[in-house]
Amino acid sequence: MQRQRTIVLLLGAPGAGKGTQARFIGGLLGIPHVASGDLLREHRRAGTALGRAAQEYMDRGDLVPDTLVIDMIAERLEREDATRGALLDGFPRTVAQAEALEVRLADRGDTVGAVLYLEVPRTALVERLAGRWMCGACQATYHERFNPPTADNICNICEEPLYQRPDDRREVVENRVEVYLRETLPVVEHYKSRGVLHALDGDRSIDAVRTRLCHALGGTVHGQRRPRWHLFVRHTEPGDDGAASQALGRTLCGKFVGRRPAGDFGAVEDFEANPCRHCWHALHARHPFRLVVLEQSDAVAS
C-alpha cells in the first residue's frame, strides 16, 4: 500500500517567524517547503501556462484567482520530491481557500494532517517587522532595534547600502498585520473545528518555538535506558487516522525507531527540563535539519 502523504500547513501573521522555522520543519519531515508566493513567482519566471495565466490577471491589476493558485499547488505535489507530502506556507489565507484546497487534496486521496499556527501578539508582530532593512546585493536582513548593522545603512557582509521595503514601514506594517488577522483567524477556527490545529506560542526564542513545533508533530517520550526525554516525530502510514493507541515514528536522535503507546508521551516541559543531549543538538543545529525518513521496514524498536 502507498503511504499516506503528510500535508502540513504553516500559518502565522507577517513577523510570526514562519520563514525561520519552515526549512527546519521540511527537513524534519522529509518534505519540501512550498511557499505560495515563491511558487507563483517560479511559474511566472518559467513562463508556464499557469504562470502566463496568472500574469494576465496581474497585468490587469486583478488578484490571482484561488483556483489558479491551487492548480499550482496541485502541480507542485506531482513532483518527485513531494511524493511524501509537503509543507504549505502562506496558503490558505481564507476559509474559501481552505475549503477549495481540501476538495483538491481529497481528489488526490490526500488530506491536511496538521496545521501549525504561530501565535504572536499584534504589538510584537509590528515591532518585529517595522524597522527592518535589507541588503540589495546579498539579501541579508537587519533591524533597527534587534539586529542593527555595524555601520549605519551599510551591510556587514558585502558593505553595500541597505534599503527598506515600503511594506516594512510602521504604518504599512500595522495595516498588513490587521488585514492578515482579519482574513486568517477564521481559517484557524476552521482547522480547529477539524481537530488538526496546533496553536503554538510564537513569542518565544527560535529554539523554544522549534521545540514546540517538534512536540506538535509527535511528542516527547522517556528514554528506555536513561532518565532523559526525547523529541519523537510521528510518521503517517496507510490507514493511520491519528487516533491509534500506538504512534509510529522516531526520535530526533534516532535512538528509537518504531511504535510507542500513546500513554508514553509527556509534555514539552519534560524535554526542556531533562533533554536527551543528542536530540537537543539536532534541535539546535545551525545547518538545515534533515531527519532520516522512516520507511515501513524501519518500524521496529532500536
* Residue 35, H or E segment: strand 33-35
Question: Is 255 a residue of the active site?
Answer: no
**CA end-to-end distance (rounded Å), the chain:** 24
210 part of the active site = no
Distance CA 12, CA 212 (A): 15
**CB-based contact 111:8 (threshold 8 Å):** no
Residue of 5, 76, 128, 176 with catalytic role: 176
204 is catalytic: no
Q: Catalytic residue at 176?
A: yes
User: How many CA atoms, within 13 angstroms, populate the side-chain half-sphere of residue 157?
Assistant: 10
Active site residue 128: no
Q: Which residue has the cell 557582509?
A: 157
Among residues 281, 292, 116, 85, the alpha carbon closest in space to that of 215 is found at: 116
Among the listed residues 3, 23, 44, 93, the single catalytic one is: 93
Query: Pick the catalytic residue: 52, 145, 165, 170?
Result: 165
Q: Is the peptide bond before 92 cis (omega within 30 degrees of 0)?
A: yes
Catalytic position from the list 5, 18, 210, 250: 18
Question: From CA 121, how far away is CA 125, in angstroms rounded?
Answer: 6
The catalytic site residues sit at: 18, 93, 132, 165, 176
